[in-house]
Structure 1
Amino acid sequence: MKKVVFISHGHPELSKGGAEVASWNLYQHLKQNGYDCLYIARADGASHGGSTFSKRGEEVLFHTAMSDWFNLSTSNLKPLFSDLSELLRQFSPDIVHIHHYAHMGIEIFPAVKRAVPDAKVIFTIHEFMAMCMHNGQMVKRESLKLCEKATETDCSKCFPSHSPGDFLLRKSYILDQLNYVDEFISPSLFLAKRYMDWGVPAEKMHVIENVLPDLTPVPPRQLREGEKRTKFAFFGQVNPYKGLDILLQALLLLPEEIKARVTLDIHGANLDIQTSDFKEKVERLLERAGSMVELRGPYESEHLRNRIADCDWVVIPSIWWENSPVVIQEAIHFGRPLIGSNIGGMKEKIENKAGLTFEARSASALANTMMKAIEPEVFDHWHNQLTADQQAKTEHLSMLKGLFSEYSATGS
Structure 2
Amino acid sequence: MKKIVFISHGHPELSKGGAEVASWNLYQLLLEQGYDCLYIARADGASHGGSTFSSRGNEVLFHTGMTDWFNLSTSHLKPLFTDLYELLKQFDPDVVHIHHYAHMGIELFPAVRKALPKAKVVFTLHEFMAMCMHNGQMVKRETLKLCNKAVSTDCHQCFPSHSPGDFFLRKNYILDQFSHVDEFVSPSHFLAQRYVEWGLPKDNVHVIENVLPTLSPAKPRTLTTEEKRTKLAFFGQVNPYKGLDILLKAISLLPEAVREQIHLDVHGANLDIQTSDFKEKVEALLEDVKDCVDLRGPYESEQLPSRMAECDWVIIPSIWWENSPVVIQEAIHLGRPLIGSNIGGMKEKIEGKAGITFEARSAASLASAIVNAIEPEVFDYWHAKLNNQQEAVEQHLQFIEQLCNA
Task: Summarize the alignment of residues 83-102 of structure 1 with structure 2, pairs less than 5 Å apart.
Answer: 83-102=83-102
2:369 and 2:226 map into 1 onto residues whose CA distance is 20
d(CA) in 1 for partners of 2:143 and 2:328? 27
Tell me by how many angstroms 1:290 deviates. 1.2
Distance (Å, rounded) in 2 between the aligned partners of 1:5 and 1:279: 41
Equivalent residue of 2:25, what SS? Answer: helix
Instruction: Name the SS for the 2:290 alignment partner.
Output: helix
Q: 2:400 & 2:329 partners in 1: Cα distance?
A: 22
Distance 2:291 2:212 in 1: 34
Q: Map residues 265-344 of structure 1 onto 2, 5 A cutoff.
A: 265-344=265-344
Deviation at 1:336, TM superposition (A): 0.1
Scaled by the length of structure 2, the TM-score of the pair is: 1.00
Residue 382 (structure 2) pairs with residue 382 (structure 1): yes
**Other-structure match for 1:173:** 173
CA offsets 1:56-78 (integer angstroms, 9 cap, x no match):
00000000000000000001100
State whether structure 2 residue 240 is matched by structure 1 residue 240.
yes
Q: Deviations over 1:323-371 (max 9, x none)?
A: 0000000000000000000000000000000000000000000000000
- In structure 1, the partner of 2:350 is 350
In structure 1, the residue matched to 2:103 is 103
Which amino acid letter does the alignment assign opposite residue 368 of structure 2?
A: N
1:62 aligns with 2:62: yes
Instruction: Map 1:42-61 onto structure 2 (within 5 A).
Output: 42-61=42-61
Amino acid at match of 1:204: N
Q: Deviations over 1:185-228 (max 9, x none)?
A: 00000000000000000010000000000000000000001000
Tell me which residue corresponds to 1:22.
22
How many residues align structurally? Answer: 406
Aligned twin of 1:197: 197
Matched, 1:250 2:250: yes
After TM superposition, where is structure 1 displaced by more than 6 Å over at least 4 residues in a row? none
What is the SS of the residue equivalent to 2:289?
A: helix
Q: 1:402 maps to which residue?
A: 402
Q: Distance in 1 between matches of 2:218 and 2:23?
A: 25
SS where residue 322 of structure 1 aligns? Answer: coil
* C-alpha distance in 1 between matches for 2:79 and 2:291: 52
- Aligned-residue sequence identity (percent) comes to 74
Partner of 1:410: none
In structure 1, the partner of 2:133 is 133
- TM-align CA RMSD: 0.3
> SS at 1:365's partner residue?
helix
Alpha-carbon offset, residue 405 of structure 1: 1.4
Distance 2:404 2:59 in 1: 23
Match of 2:40 in 1: 40
Report the alpha carbon displacement of residue 291 of structure 1 after superposing the two structures with TM.
Answer: 2.1
Letter in 2 for 1:136: G
> Could you tell me which residue of structure 1 aligns to residue 370 of structure 2?
370
Deviations 1:91-144 (A, max 9, x none): 000000000000000000000000011100000000000000000000000000
Equivalent residue number for residue 73 of structure 1: 73
Q: Corresponding residue for 1:183?
A: 183
Cα distance in 2 between the residues matched to 1:230 and 1:391 = 31
Residue identity opposite 2:253 in structure 1: L
1:290 aligns to what SS in structure 2?
A: coil
Q: TM-score, normalised by structure 1?
A: 0.98
- Aligned equivalents of 2:264, 2:258: Cα separation in 1: 13
Q: Cα distance, 1:296 vs. partner?
A: 0.3
CA distance in 1, matches of 2:97, 2:214: 22
Equivalent AA in structure 2 for residue 160 of structure 1: P
Letter in 2 for 1:324: S
Structure 2's unaligned 5+ residue stretches are none
SS in 1 for 2:132: coil
Q: Which residue pairs with 1:409 in the alignment?
A: none
Deviation at 1:81, TM superposition (A): 0.4
Match of 1:12 in 2: 12
